Structure 1
């Protein structure tokens, strides 16, 4: 959500698609545009929503809370870094306890980044959840179960449920 592909015309004409000329657009209406789609597939299809813009995280988090079959995708693209991941996790905790997070994924073009990206996500998740425990906002046992769910069990169930 929010990606504008092949924005730089000269780059696209010279090198073709997917060569670095894409941008992120925060000026889109998410809630109204997704309403038909999420209602149409309510409880029939598992949906993961990835947003390019941090400004969309709160809206997607609340949609995920309203529709149990909708999961929030991990911070992606320009926010796919420790700062962006932490910012997303902090914002999601204001809506829910990240139970509907889809966990970290990687794309097939960056297969070599799979391990490092997933490790960075797990470490960031552990830091954010650990701070919640330190502040007395979450019991350790809940935190441990949550981290296991978001890091492994939830994505396994979501992406490999029929395997």
Structure 2
């Protein structure tokens, strides 16, 4: 009896939190930079979104959904909302006219933690600081001279990794593969 009551309380709490989050997210959408409303799409389930609609063969599932919702539709995969464009003409138009909005990067929470996303390569692609940082990375960090200088350390790390794998697998590399 107590477990049933506990389960009901948990379900009610989760439902309440979902509704509050949904209400807050619709208010945040109004201030977001993305053009809204989103295109039509299947109704997502809480937490998992439309992952069950997409299924094991995404290309076929998305083709089926395209017949129902049109050539441009929105699908939620987990907590990420994705706009699917199934028409070459619509894709060409979106990529030519809305390239700046579409090229925006998703910034992980780890980069946002101490505002690192404001001064790193997570900046928008048109930002001059990002272009400068990319140039520094290409010319200084990943140049042939820098990579050659670190070659001995990379080889040593690779040898340590192989030795660790051999030690853990008893010199049988196939023991890591589970069937």
Tell which structure's C-alpha radius of gyration is larger.
2
Instruction: Name the TM tier (shorter chain).
Output: under 0.3
Q: TM-score, normalised by structure 1?
A: 0.26
Higher relative contact order (CA 8 A, sep 6+): 1
More helix by share: 2
